[in-house]
Amino acid sequence: MRVLIQRVTHASVTVDGTVTGRIGAGMLILVGIEDTDGEEDISWLSSKITQLRIFADGEGVMNLSVKDIDGEILLVSQFTLHAAVKKGNRPSYIRASKPDIAIPLYEQLIARLGQDLGKPVATGIFGADMKVQLLNDGPVTIWIDSKNKE
C-alpha cells in the first residue's frame, strides 16, 4: 500500500460537481492499493500516519502529529501511485488492485484511520473522476510504502 501525504491548510474533493469530502488543517492522503496488501499494511500505515510528526509546535519545529493538532484527514484513492514507467512512455498500472480487491481494503483503511484519529475521515469516491483541491502547507509532502517498513 502506498500513500502520498500532503500537509494542508485545507483540501476538498469533488465528484460530478458535488463536494464529497472537505477538511481544514490536516492531511490530504492519496492511497494506492495492490493485491498483496492486507490488514498488516493497513494497521501499520494508519499508526504511522496518525503519529507522523509533521506539524509545527510553538517553536516552529515539525514536532506534532495530526492528532496533536486535532487535525483532519481527507483520504483519496489513486491507483496511479502504482504506475510503472520503466518501459516506454505509457504508464502501466498492472500492480494496482482491481476494485473487487481494492475497495474492501480502502474501506478498512478509512475505518482504521478514523479509529486511530478519533474522528471520521473525509473521502472521495473510489474509482470516480475526482477533482482534488488543496493548499499544501510548507510544502510538506511525504511518500510511504508499507512494503518498505524496514
**Residues linked to residue 72 through DSSP beta bridges, in sequence order:** 26
What domains does the chain contain, in order, with CATH numbers? 2-145 (3.50.80.10)
Residue 4 CB partners (closer than 8 Å, separation 6+): 29, 30, 78, 81, 141, 142, 143
3-state secondary structure of 150: coil
User: Among this protein's residues, is 115 annotated catalytic?
Assistant: no
State the chain's mean pLDDT as an integer.
95
pLDDT for 94 equals: 84
pTM as predicted: 0.94
Q: From the candidates 50, 55, 79, 123, give the one annotated as an active-site residue.
A: 79
User: Among this protein's residues, is 18 annotated catalytic?
Assistant: no
How does pLDDT run across 34-48, given as a tens digit for each residue? 999 999 999 999 999
Runs of H (alpha helix) within the chain: 39-51, 99-117
